[in-house]
Structures are given as structure tokens and as C-alpha cells.
């Protein structure tokens, strides 16, 4: 049985070169492995800022491990976090902060509205005890793009620190220290860098990390200790995911060859535009207006047709070689289609043909939703 093309937010479809890189069993102290690990850390860091100002600290595990490591290491025990929430991943940061015993305030927008920087301004003006602000760049729950530059400017103006969950955006959407003052950016191996799952990483400002000794609630998720060890001898403190790292190394070589962030983001944008136009031609409606829609994952409203049922629609597409994703909204029934990973415009065109066939199979005349407000 062949695997379907993954039109999901991750794990994603990867290239043959990335998968082939995992056929070597590296020893963790092998000089070639250490060099590969150094190169991955240096290359990933410089996507976000100059090498003398930022450092990349990877952690074993999925993206959430990097988020938990960041909140635990960067927030002092007496710090206070404001989380700007407009989806599930914002809620998750609140849960993490509470669990690791940090003072946290959540401010929430509805899932189809972006974080509003003027409200952030007011929240910071009203609470001088807030030391850090956390926000999700692209909220994968809906695929909405938050206005990161504007939020960062407000946070900087108030002299507070910004932590960015850029999990589903890093490597495809612009994010540099020069434009977006941050303390930390969190991301992972298996999203827009197109590696395989297993490494979360954090890009931290060096001068900030230098002040974080002893903050962490956890041994395994202490970014300060891990960074100190990389500094000392290039070693991961605990068994590194060697195959995953080798795959990520191959993935960043390909990322560079595609033209870096601009090249990768450009392909995803083309995927998005073809997907949205094609789905709309079949009657489907997007949750978000185009201006708020990141080129990462698109949320479609559940069709009104009584012949539609997500599981049957999913199966019909799966049999034609495509995996889509269920919705994750609390406010509306939806499904999602991703446009990241080794997915190209022609794949999206083939997908649109498969959607038409799946609709015919289910007996749907069009994809229109019940109501659009």
C-alpha cells in the first residue's frame, strides 16, 4: 500500500534525499555527526538572526517539547506570561505555563480573528507585572496569520520579552530579529524545513539565554544546560535522534537550494492560491478571508450537502492518494488541507481532480457550506 501525499500540518511528505539520509547509523560522538549537528544548529539560527546574536538549541521530541523548554527556561520563576490566544496552540502555551508553575494570563480572540496589537498595547499598559508575551505566528488551528511585526513592536515598546511559536511558519514565512524583536522562536524539524518528526528547536537571543541558568523546571528540557553543553563539546546531553538530525541536515541543504525562506514560501503560496481557487470553483468556502490566510494550511467550511460526511470524503481522497486533515475549530465544522511539505503545484492540481471525483462518489453537487456570515 503506497503512502498518500500528506496535505496536513505535519508530519509531512518528505523528499527521497531526506529519507535516504536516515539510512546511516551515526554514533553520537562521531566527528562527522557532531559536525552535522553543528551545521544544522548554525544554519537554522542564521535563518532568524546573526550568529553573534542568536543560537539554536534543539531538543529531542516534537514541537511541544521545544515550547515547554522555552517557557520553562526563559521565564524566571517569578516571571509572568501573557499568552495571546486565537487557537489551540495558544491554549497549549497557557496549559504549559500553568503546569510548570509560572504565573500566566491568557487573552483570547475568536479563532477566525487575528491577534489585535492595539489590545496587546492596552493589556501591557494595564499590567506592569507581565514580563513575557507569547504568541503563535501562524495558528495552525485555522491557518490564520497573526500580525507578528506589529505585535513585536508593541511588546518591545513596553520593554517586555516576546516568545514566538513559529512552529508551522518557520522556514517559509519571514521572521528575522531585525524586523521582529524576539527573545525566542520555537519551531520543529518536520514542518516548513521539511525534515522528519523528532526534533523541536528554539532560536534564542544569546544575551537572554546567558541569564537563564537555574530557571528550568526540568532537567531534560533545560535549554540553558543544553546550550552550555553544545558550547563545550558539541554534544547533545542525552541520546540524540541521530537519524532525524541527519534527515534535517539533508532538509536544510534542500531548503537553501530552493532559495531559502523566500523560495520555500513562494512555492507554498503558489500551492495555496491554486488550492483556494480550485476549491472555490467547486463551491467550497474558506473560513478565513484571503488577507488572513497563511500559505500553510487552509480551513474549509463543512459542505451543507447531506451527502457529505468527513470520514467518507477522507476515505475517497485517501484511495486517490491524498490525506487531508480534520478541522480543529470549536466554533464551526470544518476540514483542513495543507500546502506544505514536498507538495508542488501539479500535486495540488491532481488533488483538485480527486476532490471532484470524491464529490461525485459521495453524490455531492457542490461544496457550498450552510451559511457564510
Ligand X SMILES: Cc1ncc(COP(=O)(O)O)c(C=O)c1O
Helix/strand/coil for 299: strand
Residue with smaller CB distance to ligand X, 10 or 195: 10
Q: Does 8 bind ligand X (CB under 6 A)?
A: no
Binding range to ligand X, per CB under 6 A, among 24-32, 62-70, 145-153, 175-183: 62-70
Query: Quick one: which segment of 63-71, 154-162, 239-247, 350-358 binds ligand X (CB under 6 A)?
Result: 63-71
- Kindly give, in sequence order, each residue whose CB lies less than 8 Å from that of residue 132, ignoring residues fewer than 6 positions away: 74, 75, 79, 80, 81, 82, 160, 161, 162, 163, 183
Tell the smallest beta-carbon distance from residue 338 to ligand X (Å). Answer: 10
Residues 225-264 as x/- pattern, contact with ligand X by CB under 6 A:
----------------------------------------
Pick from 47, 167, 185, 244 the residue near ligand X by CB under 6 A.
167
Closer CB to ligand X, 67 or 83, in the complex: 67
The dihedrals phi and psi of 134, each to the nearest 5 degrees, come to: -120, 140
Is residue 275 within 8 A of residue 298, CB to CB? The reply is yes
Residue 332 beta carbon to ligand X: minimum distance, rounded to whole angstroms: 19
Q: Is the separation of the CB atoms in 305 and 369 below 8 Å? A: no
Asked if 89 interacts with ligand X (CB under 6 A), we say: yes
Look at the block and give the residue holding cell 554534544: 235
Please identify, among the stretches 43-51, 60-68, 254-262, 360-368, the one whose residues bind ligand X according to the rule CB under 6 A.
60-68
165 binds ligand X (CB under 6 A): yes
Give CA separation, 158 vs 152, 154, 309, 359, in Å.
Answer: 10, 6, 49, 52
SS3 of residue 143 by DSSP: coil
Question: Minimum distance from CB of 141 to ligand X (Å)?
Answer: 8
Interaction between residue 10 and ligand X (CB under 6 A): yes
The answer to the question of residue 63 lying near ligand X (CB under 6 A) is yes
Cis peptide bond prior to 362, omega within 30° of 0: no
114 binds ligand X (CB under 6 A): no
- 64 counts as binding ligand X under rule CB under 6 A: yes
Query: Could you give the residue ranges of the DSSP H alpha helices within the chain?
Result: 16-20, 31-48, 63-74, 88-99, 117-126, 148-157, 206-209, 223-233, 242-257, 260-281, 310-319, 345-362
Which CB, 9 or 367, lies closer to ligand X?
Answer: 9
Q: Which residue number, 67 or 133, has a Cβ lying nearer to ligand X?
A: 67
Report, in Å, the least distance between residue 362 CB and ligand X: 28
Q: Which stretch binds ligand X (CB under 6 A): 52-60, 161-169, 227-235, 347-355?
A: 161-169
Residue with cell 496589537: 117
Binding of ligand X at residue 62 (CB under 6 A)? yes
Is 131 one of the binding residues for ligand X (CB under 6 A)? no
Number of residues in contact with ligand X under rule CB under 6 A: 13
**What angle in degrees, to the nearest 10, is found between the helix axes of 31-48 and 242-257?**
50
Is 141:328 a contact under the CB 8 Å cutoff? yes
Select the span of 97-105, 164-172, 235-243, 280-288 touching ligand X (CB under 6 A).
164-172
The helix-helix angle for 345-362 and 310-319 (nearest 10°) equals 130
Closest approach of ligand X to the CB of residue 173, in Å: 12
CB of 59 or CB of 75, closer to ligand X: 59
User: Does 9 sit near ligand X (CB under 6 A)?
Assistant: yes
- Comparing every residue's Cβ against ligand X, the nearest one is 63
- Does 188 bind ligand X (CB under 6 A)? Our answer is yes
- Per the CB < 8 A criterion, the answer to whether 321 and 249 are in contact is no
CA distance 172 to 290: 18
The dihedral built from the CA positions of residue 265, 260, 186 and 181, taken in this order, carries a sign that is: negative
- Which residue ranges make up the site for ligand X (CB under 6 A)? 9-10, 62-64, 67, 89, 136, 140, 165, 167-168, 188
Amino acid at each position: 500500500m503506497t503512502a498518500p501525499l500528506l496535505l496536513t500540518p505535519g508530519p509531512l511528505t518528505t523528499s527521497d534525499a531526506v529519507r535516504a539520509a536516515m539510512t546511516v547509523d551515526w554514533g553520537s560522538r562521531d566527528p562527522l555527526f557532531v559536525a552535522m549537528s553543528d551545521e544544522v544548529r548554525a544554519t537554522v539560527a542564521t535563518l532568524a538572526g546573526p550568529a553573534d546574536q542568536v543560537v539554536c538549541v534543539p531538543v529531542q521530541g516534537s514541537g511541544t517539547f521545544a515550547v515547554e523548554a522555552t517557557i520553562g527556561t526563559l521565564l524566571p520563576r517569578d516571571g509572568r506570561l501573557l499568552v495571546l490566544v486565537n487557537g489551540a496552540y495558544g491554549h497549549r502555551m497557557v496549559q504549559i505555563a500553568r503546569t510548570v508553575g509560572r504565573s500566566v494570563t491568557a487573552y483570547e480572540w475568536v479563532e477566525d480573528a487575528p491577534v489585535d496589537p492595539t489590545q496587546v498595547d492596552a493589556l501591557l499598559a494595564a499590567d506592569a507585572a507581565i514580563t513575557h508575551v507569547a504568541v503563535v505566528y501562524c495558528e495552525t488551528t485555522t491557518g490564520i496569520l497573526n500580525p507578528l511585526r506589529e505585535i513585536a513592536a508593541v511588546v518591545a515598546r513596553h520593554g517586555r520579552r516576546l516568545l514566538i511559536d513559529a512552529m508551522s511558519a518557520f522556514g517559509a514565512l519571514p521572521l528575522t530579529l531585525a524586523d521582529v524583536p524576539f527573545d525566542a522562536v520555537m519551531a520543529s524539524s518536520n514542518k516548513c524545513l521539511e525534515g522528519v518528526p523528532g526534533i523541536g528547536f528554539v532560536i534564542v537571543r544569546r544575551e537572554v539565554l546567558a541569564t537563564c541558568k537555574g530557571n528550568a523546571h526540568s532537567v531534560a528540557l533545560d535549554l540553558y544546560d543544553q546550550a552550555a553543553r553544545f558550547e563545550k563539546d558539541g554534544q547533545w546531553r542525552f541520546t540524540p535522534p541521530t537519524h532525524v538530525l541527519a534527515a534535517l541536515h539533508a532538509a536544510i541543504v534542500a531548503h537553501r537550494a530552493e532559495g531559502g525562506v523566500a523560495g520555500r514560501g513562494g512555492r507554498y503560496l503558489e500551492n495555496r492560491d491554486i488550492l483556494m481557487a480550485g476549491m472555490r470553483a467547486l463551491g467550497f468556502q474558506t473560513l478565513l478571508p484571503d488577507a488572513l490566510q497563511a500559505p500553510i494550511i487552509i480551513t474549509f467550511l463543512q459542505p451543507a450537502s447531506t451527502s457529505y460526511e468527513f470520514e467518507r470524503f477522507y476515505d475517497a481522497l485517501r484511495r486517490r492518494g491524498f490525506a487531508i486533515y480534520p478541522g480543529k475549530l470549536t466554533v464551526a465544522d470544518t476540514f483542513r488541507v495543507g500546502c506544505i511539505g514536498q507538495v508542488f503545484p501539479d500535486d495540488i492540481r491532481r488533488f483538485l481532480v480527486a476532490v471532484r471525483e470524491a464529490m461525485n462518489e459521495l453524490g455531492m453537487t457542490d461544496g457550498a457550506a450552510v451559511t457564510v456570515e
